[in-house]
A and B are shown apart, each in its own frame.
Chain A
Amino acid sequence: MAQSVVVQVGQCGNQIGCCFWDLALREHASVNKKGIYDDALKNFFRNVDTRGTGISKGRICSLKARAVLIDMEEGVVNEILQGPLKDVFDSKQLITNVSGSGNNWAVGYKVFGSHYRDQIVEKLRQTAEHCDCLQCFFLIHSMGGGTGSGLGTFILNVLEDEFPEVYRFVTSVFPSGEDDVITSPYNSVLAMKELNEHADCVLPIENESLFDIVSKINQMINSGKPGTTVKQQSLVTLNEGGIKKKLDEKPFDKMNNIVANLLLNLTSSSRFEGSLNMDLNEISMNLVPFPQLHYLVSSLTPLYTLADVNIPPRRLDQMFSDAFSKDYQLIQADPKHSLYLACALLVRGNVQISDIRRNIERLKSSLHFVSWNQEGWKTSLCSVPPVGHSHSLLALANNTCVKPTFMELKNRFLRLYKKKACVFDITSFMERNLSVRSLLKFLSFLVCQAALWESLAHLHHYLQVDRMEDSCFTEAVSSLSSLIEKYNELDVTKGLPIHEQVRLNIVI
């Protein structure tokens, strides 16, 4: 069976990664009662003896995560290493620094990227060499900050150069509108260009959506409906396995857990048996009709599988309906009112093919599919359900509903960037042969308008970085614009009558 390696970058990436490993261990512990190192475990874990030598068969000695942990601060990684998961990682899998990337994509990508390249390649190689068939890298990062966004996308390039055959799945956490990082639009747009060009599949996540889902789960718990009980030892959000649980649990822990669950469900069919398997390489094959349109909107249902609660099970069909509702998407999007290019339903547990077929039949009339893929459904059935539940569904949609997220990002970028543009208008009245860089330095003394000053100062921080040119910004934003345009072109076909293409004519 093929293996996967998780590359977690930056604070957000490492926090999610940590939740993921915790959940993965629990899931395997509940399925694998005999303590034998089996193929399913092999997917994400090595089994090593006391001397650190890998063992391919037999009893579980010590499990090591197939992971590379990278952060340019120490905080989160240190917390992991002091927490209950410490034995799952060893120091050879880590790269840390103390200085941080200062929420600056350019520092992460250009400075730390070139500085750590060799070390990154070496750690990746080591991890890859422990796999007998490496199929997939899962990169987890956020878009708004400096390390995850900058160094994360740098690593994506490295992965493509060094392991061109291995799939690159990226889980990207997009900043919410009211992000406390002012430069997050810059970072995100610069990172988007890299995702466009170097990822096989991107699973965008928005913090706002995660927050809404967590609120909804809390509401469920507090609703006091008969039969609703808080589980004491539930798998899912009890997160003491990961980062040590503090008295005041941050909402982020629950939010990160949702993303960790997404990865768990995404890989369940390639780890466990089922009557209709779905290997990871089938995801991009079925869901990516054109190379750049590789952004997949995900939803997880039923929600209570994400919570520590026992809720009286609803009808199975409700699980399918919810998966298409905008309230259940992991980004702020409404797939029902946009255009589907393709859709995958990854089902776990006690569900049969007839249940899937019935629900597709029931739901498809309320969904719009692109003219050339009217029956764009991919399904899988994994017989092992999530721990403590009877069934679950992960829906992945290649749908034009991601467009608003990208447009919003672009607008926020432009709002920040335009301020700079207006500076240039003023400067055009002045000396013409000054370079942009010196101009900016010069201007930063002259202009006192607060906002202008702020935005210039930010831009200045980027342009200070070696090999970071103004063109990086313009190229990034035009890459984003052309992606949005591709979605636009598809969107205009929505609702148009479908023409059969004229077929080949055979002369007899």
Chain B
Amino acid sequence: MSVVTVQLGQCGNQIGYEVFDTMCRDLHNTQGFCSKRENEIYQASCKEHFFNEDKSEVPVARALLIDMEPKVISQTLLKAAHSGRWKYGQHSHFCQRQGSGNNWAYGYSVHGPKHEESIMNLIQREVEEYDSLSGFSIIMSMAGGTGSGLGAFLTQNLRDAYPNSFIMNQVIWPYGTGEVIVQNYNSVLTLSHLYRSSDALLVHENDVVHKICAKLMNIKQISFRDVNQVIAHQLGSVFQPTYSSEDSFQYRRNPLGDLMTALVPHPEFKMLGLRNIPQMPENSLAYTTFAWAGLLKHLRQMLISNAKMEEGIDWQVRPPLSGLPALEKVSPNKELRFNTSIANLLILRGKDVHSADTGGFKDPALYTSWLQPSDAFCEWRTHRAFNKYEKSAALVSNSQFLLKPLDTIVGKAWNMFASKAYVHQYTKFGIEEEDFLDSFTVLEQIVASYCNL
């Protein structure tokens, strides 16, 4: 079943490109630690989900490029065409001449309705090309105007037009400071709207990824490209083909759907985060060996102590003794001690994958009281290695991990809202103070729900 990727705005388009490029490079990676025949099946499965073939035999990404400004799209199309490995469809983009100017209201209330028909037609034409549609993956940032405002508008429209398809938003969480001044307003409006129409939000925090670039990838002068490549690697580790069951050697038909089923058991909780291990510069890979036990031990501690990478993990954090109520209620602005999960999906790839013991993730103490580990935990194992890593693990989790960043964004936006600063920029395009208040309410509700797990 196919997944249609919708790349929105500058950020969405830049990351989308890196995701397809990473996937394609992985497909042609001869060090896949599997036979040629196996690799062909792997390639076929990946293409079934994410690519079309055309006469030229260069895979065509099942993606739509949407921006309200032409520069980024023309650059992205060109880069893909030059890669020689893959390309975008000839008519798969839509752009306008004037961007949304970092204004969520402009993207949502002006660009959205104005270009609704063209964009929805474009998407429909794309969808009609395939036998079966699993759903949509929408890549967008929350900070700007197009990705966030138009993204929220489109997500809503897609929900109405394709009620039976899955919608997952890849949400790029802005740096705490330094990108866009009104980013907290834009984020609050985006998240509250997405929460109504999306099935799940997979969050990628720029600050976290930036740190990974610095600490794990050892990059000195970090560019957006570096950041985007790490995000692409992480997404690839989830969405590249996986075996549907441990002994069948059949690849999963509907990864997007299976992921949602595993991770979103309740509509109140749909914030997902991603942790990967190991991550290191490519040239160090050859000199490093890994053991599954070590990787999984680290990954589990990363999960429960809410560490975003394998460096600087707090090993003191332990799950509460089961059966006893937690000593203190979690408060969003305090440093989280123990990160309670609702659900986890563990994706293991590489050598000796069947020998990996995932028992540590099946401890009931990791989860809320209302879900058994058998329902809350899911694992996908695949023999083929991913992206030159002999062994690698990705953990997608629905947990309290986002409480602090979410609370910070809501708090900053609320402080600004109290002074009414910048509000006139939004009311100019029909987003009133009431709308802000509604959005704040939705987000406070989400914060409270995750707090009370």
Contact = CB atoms under 8 A, between A and B. Distances in A.
Interface of A: 1-2, 39, 132-133, 135, 273, 275-277, 279-282, 284-291, 341-342, 352-357, 360, 364, 371-379, 381, 500-501, 503-506, 508
Contacts of B214: 354
Contact of B69 (A277, A342, A508): A277
B101 A504 contact: no
Interface string B419-438: 10110110000000000010
B103 A275 contact: no
Given A290-B421, A353-B224, A281 B99 contact: yes
A376 B421 CA distance: 12
A134 to B, nearest CB: 9
Contacts of A353: 210, 222-224, 227
Most buried by B among A285, A286, A287: A285
B175 interface: yes
Nearest to A286: B181
Interface in B114-172: 145
B421 A375 contact: no
Contact of A286 (B102, B411, B449): B102
Interface in B57-76: 69-72, 75
B415 A378 contact: no
A375 B425 contact: no
A352 B424 contact: no
Given A277-B72, A353-B224, A376-B181, A506 B444 contact: yes
A146 to B, nearest CB: 34
Interface of B: 10, 14, 69-72, 75, 97-99, 101-103, 145, 175-182, 210, 213-214, 219-225, 227, 410-412, 414-416, 418-419, 421-422, 424-425, 437, 440-441, 444-445, 447-449, 452
A276 B98 CA distance: 16
A273 B71 contact: yes
4 nearest A-B pairs in the assembled complex, by CB-CB distance = A281-B101, A375-B177, A354-B222, A289-B421
B102 A285 contact: yes
Contacts of A503: 410-411, 414, 444
Nearest to B144: A282
A280 B97 CA distance: 12
B303 to A, nearest CB: 26
Given A281-B99, A375-B177, 10 more contacts: A39-B70, A133-B98, A284-B425, A285-B145, A291-B424, A371-B419, A381-B224, A503-B411, A504-B414, A504-B437
Contacts of A355: 221
Q: Among the interface residues B75, B214, B222, B440, which one has the most CB atoms of the partner chain A within 10 A?
A: B222
A196 to B, nearest CB: 15
Contacts of A280: 101
Tell me which of B69, B213, B437, B441 has the highest count of chain A C-beta atoms within 10 A of its own C-beta: B69
Nearest to A293: B421
29 contacts: A1-B70, A2-B98, A39-B71, A133-B97, A133-B98, A275-B224, A276-B224, A277-B69, A281-B101, A282-B99, A285-B422, A286-B181, A287-B181, A288-B425, A289-B421, A290-B424, A352-B221, A353-B222, A354-B219, A354-B221, A372-B421, A373-B421, A375-B176, A375-B177, A378-B179, A503-B411, A504-B414, A504-B441, A506-B448
Contacts of A276: 10, 179, 224
A154 to B, nearest CB: 25
Contact of A132 (B97, B101, B418): B97
A285 B101 contact: yes
B69 A285 contact: no
A375 B98 contact: no
Nearest to A272: B71
Q: Which residue, B70, B421, B424, B445, has most C-beta atoms of chain A within 10 A?
A: B421
Nearest to B99: A279
Contacts of B416: 372-373
A285 B182 contact: yes
Contacts of B14: 275
B408 to A, nearest CB: 10
Nearest to A398: B181
Given A286-B102, A286-B182, A277 B10 contact: yes
B177 A360 contact: yes
A275 B448 contact: no
A375 B175 CA distance: 11
B270 to A, nearest CB: 18
B42 to A, nearest CB: 32
Contact of A504 (B70, B178, B425, B444): B444
A341 B175 CA distance: 19
Contacts of B437: 504
B168 to A, nearest CB: 25
B71 A357 contact: no
B445 A375 contact: no
Most chain B C-beta atoms within 10 Å of own C-beta, residue among A2, A280, A352, A355: A352
Contacts of B175: 357
Contacts of B448: 506, 508
B223 A506 contact: no
Nearest to B71: A273
Contacts of A132: 97
A356 B449 CA distance: 36
A290 B424 CA distance: 7
A126 B418 CA distance: 44
Contacts of B411: 500, 503
Contacts of A357: 175, 178, 210
B410 to A, nearest CB: 7
B422 A356 contact: no
B415 A371 contact: yes
A287 B437 CA distance: 23
